[in-house]
Amino acid sequence: MNTLSTKHLLGIEPLTPEDIKLIFEVADNFKDVINRPIKKVPTLRDITIANLFFENSTRTKLSFELAEKRLSADVVNFSAASSSVKKGETLIDTVNNILAMKVDMVVMRHPSPGAAMFLSKEVDSVIINAGDGTHEHPTQALLDAYSIREKLGDVKGKKVVIVGDILHSRVAISNIHCLKKLGAEVKVCGPLTLMPKHIESLGVEVETNLKKALEWCDVVNMLRIQHERQEIKHFPSLKEYTLQYGLTTELLESIGKDIVIMHPGPINRGVEISSEIADSKNAIILNQVENGVAIRMAVIYLLAGKI
């Protein structure tokens, strides 16, 4: 097996465990590349990639752009704020116009769930989903699982708890799919108002008590409260949320074991995680960011081979 079973990366759900392992193996090589004095390889010098961001992003956009540039691809960037989308152009028209300029691959973030899937059916190009609404964020899940593999040796059999705003989190959904496919045990933890209905159908357990969840797990992935997606209030106050679901030194010390701390960013220090914990030795938050570039290089490399 040295090729992916899919032409696009629309989500983790359609991938096979072998696909994920293949991406990890190739990412190992790219991690080596980005730690050399010259961090660039000429592999994709004849490929042009468009980054279409219909929603704000700092880390993901930067990470994709770096990954593309380190593979020597040509990159064009597009953000909805400064485009003709504001003038009433449809998504398909926008993308077809960009493809008419001979672009080979599209990386897209969009506020609507399913936007990447829709696009993959309507236009003739390789699509990489960089986050579609509350649906999936596949590269984030890949880099999270890759970081666990790097820190703990393997993902299989590990106990991972995802804490916070599961309801609005594409990171949570993609993470659950990815971790389950790799054989990890997954729990989600947070107030019931922030749990999607039927989340158990993905094969995860719901735990509302953070301390109990921490006592069970090897890895904790802390999510941010997504105020921008919340139309109604899901909990009385941020202070109250922090008291019940904030990760603090006292809480971790009371557990008395080493737990790997992850966060997909952006961090709200003092809300879901204390500054001390975010900067502690068990936190692999910055490793996640570094691995993000390697994972995205691997995904782009493997998909570009199919153009």
Partner 1 sequence: MGLQEREILNEAEVDILISRMTRQLIENHNLFENSILIGVQPRGIYVANRLKQKLKELSGIDVTTGAIDTTFFRDDFRRKDKPLLPSVNNIDFSIESKKIILTDDVLFSGRTVRAAMDALMTYGRPSSIELLVLVDRRFSRNLPIEANYVGKYIDTLSNERVEVMWKETENIDKVILVKK
How many amino acids of this chain bind partner 1 (CB under 8 A)? 25
Contact flag: residue 121 with partner 1 (CB under 8 A): no
Stretch that binds partner 1, among 24-32, 80-88, 130-138, 266-274 (CB under 8 A): 24-32
Q: Residue 302: helix, strand or coil by DSSP?
A: helix
Cβ partners under 8 Å of residue 206, min gap 6:
187, 188, 189, 192, 195, 199, 200
Residue selected from 15, 23, 26, 213 as contacting partner 1 according to rule CB under 8 A: 26
Compute the least distance from the CB of residue 36 to partner 1, in Å. Answer: 5
Compute the least distance from the CB of residue 49 to partner 1, in Å. Answer: 14
Q: Give, to the nearest 10 degrees, the angle between helix 138-152 and helix 285-304.
A: 120
- Go through 63-72 and write b for each residue having 16 or more CB atoms within 10 A of its CB, e for each that does not: bbbbbbbbbe
The residue among 25 and 89 lying less far from partner 1, judged by its C-beta, is 25
Cβ partners under 8 Å of residue 237, min gap 6:
none
The residue among 66 and 199 lying less far from partner 1, judged by its C-beta, is 66
d(CA 230, CA 221): 21
Contact flag: residue 147 with partner 1 (CB under 8 A): no
The residue among 29 and 56 lying less far from partner 1, judged by its C-beta, is 29
The residue among 41 and 85 lying less far from partner 1, judged by its C-beta, is 41
Span 208-227, contacts to partner 1 by CB under 8 A? none
Contact flag: residue 16 with partner 1 (CB under 8 A): no
The residue among 3 and 275 lying less far from partner 1, judged by its C-beta, is 3
Contact flag: residue 307 with partner 1 (CB under 8 A): yes
CB 39 within 8 A of CB 70: yes
Question: What tokens were used for 148?
Answer: 């666990």
The closest of 211, 177, 52 to 119, measured between CA atoms, is: 52
d(CA 56, CA 290): 20
Contact flag: residue 5 with partner 1 (CB under 8 A): no
Tell me the Cα Rg of the chain.
Answer: 19
Binding mask 28-67 for partner 1 (x = CB under 8 A): xx--xx--xxx-xxxxx-x---------------------
The residue among 261 and 294 lying less far from partner 1, judged by its C-beta, is 294
The residue among 44 and 273 lying less far from partner 1, judged by its C-beta, is 44
Compute the least distance from the CB of residue 97 to partner 1, in Å. Answer: 25
The residue among 195 and 304 lying less far from partner 1, judged by its C-beta, is 304
What stretches of 150-275 adopt beta strand conformation (E)?
159-163, 185-189, 205-207, 219-222, 260-262
Q: Residue 66: helix, strand or coil by DSSP?
A: helix
Span 275-304, contacts to partner 1 by CB under 8 A? 301-302, 304
Contact flag: residue 18 with partner 1 (CB under 8 A): no
d(CA 139, CA 145): 10
CB 217 within 8 A of CB 161: yes
Contact flag: residue 182 with partner 1 (CB under 8 A): no
**Could you list the residues that contact partner 1 (CB under 8 A)?**
2-3, 22, 25-26, 28-29, 32-33, 36-38, 40-44, 46, 71, 301-302, 304-307
